[in-house]
Amino acid sequence: MKLHAYKFQGAGNDFVIIDNPDGNISLTEAQIRTLCDRRFGIGADGLMTVSPSADADFSMRYYNSDGLESLMCGNGGRCISAFFAKKKAAAGAKGLHLEFDAADGRHCSDILEAPEGPLAPGMRFTVKLKMNDIVPDAEGNSPVTCYPEGYSVDTGCPHFVMFVKGLNNYNVDGEGRMWRYDSRFPIGTNVDFVEPTAEGLVMRTYERGVECETLACGTGAVAVAVVSYACGIRNFANDGRRIRYEIIARGDRLKVDFLPSEGPGDGGSYTGRFTDLRLTGPATFVFETEVEI
């Protein structure tokens, strides 16, 4: 089978996108692994398909590079929005509002900046993506779980956030691999290492499903922001009640803003809600190609 594939990257987190307008493309785990392989395929952290939706602009399915489907990818959600906006919805695309379905529910995105003209390599978009609210569970337990070593939170995917010093020289792959399989996380977890600085929250992520460090992680950026707020890390900007953190990933910068229901925490249990969560950052078209699988 011959596929037409598009490659995008969001802050260095890269993806293969397959347009599936008739819903007749079905890829096996092995095929997805091959397409994402950096030596024998196109090379990517994950793969997404774009399909029609009954009552939204499109439907997104996301697969990690190990071939297994995952619930959500924040950087992927921005990239697939840029792809749809340019290829399907509008020549200019700037100012476009989109709604799409993912495995974790309905999302919306806004194309804040978009180049003119047809899709071409190097085109850089700025996309703001709405993520799911993060709220206490039915029993009122905090959405952020505290452990002696760090904090866990679900932002569409499970994340374990650890504050460290000397992040630039930190053994992310070694430490990340250890915590990713910790027995407290039976389905596994992404692991985010963060060091607050005057410029923002510097982060590095070990991604499950990729099984190594990636240059950025969108759901991880959200996790780092809400955990930092819950722990009382105050290097944020605020506009009225709205809180915004600058996230400095290895591939680029991201912004996470949200409405909290309580003030910053003190490092203990935080029972507040995080609503109207937005992840803003770049989505860049790399190239398109045809591949036989």
Judge residue 239's burial from the number of C-beta atoms within 10 Å of its C-beta, 0-12 exposed, 13-18 middle, 19 or more buried.
exposed
Q: Of 254, 246, 250, 251, which is closest to residue 168 (Cα–Cα)?
A: 250
Distance between CA 195 and CA 53 in Å, rounded? Answer: 40
> What tokens were used for 85?
């906006």
Clarify whether 217 is annotated catalytic: yes
Residues 6+ apart with CB under 8 A from 165: 195
Q: Which residue among 36, 79, 157, 217 is the active-site one? A: 217
Q: Which residue among 36, 73, 79, 157 is the active-site one? A: 73
Name 48's bridge partners. Answer: 17, 62
CA dihedral of 113, 70, 68, 174, whole degrees rounded to 10: 90
Q: Are 290 and 3 in contact (CB under 8 A)?
A: yes
Strands 158-163 and 190-196: parallel
Distance between CA 255 and CA 243 in Å, rounded? Answer: 10
> What tokens were used for 103?
């495995």
Q: CA-CA distances (angstroms) from residue 175 to 139, 186, 206, 248?
A: 33, 18, 9, 20
Distance between CA 223 and CA 218 in Å, rounded? Answer: 9
Distance between CA 154 and CA 219 in Å, rounded? Answer: 9
- Which residues belong to the active site? 73, 217
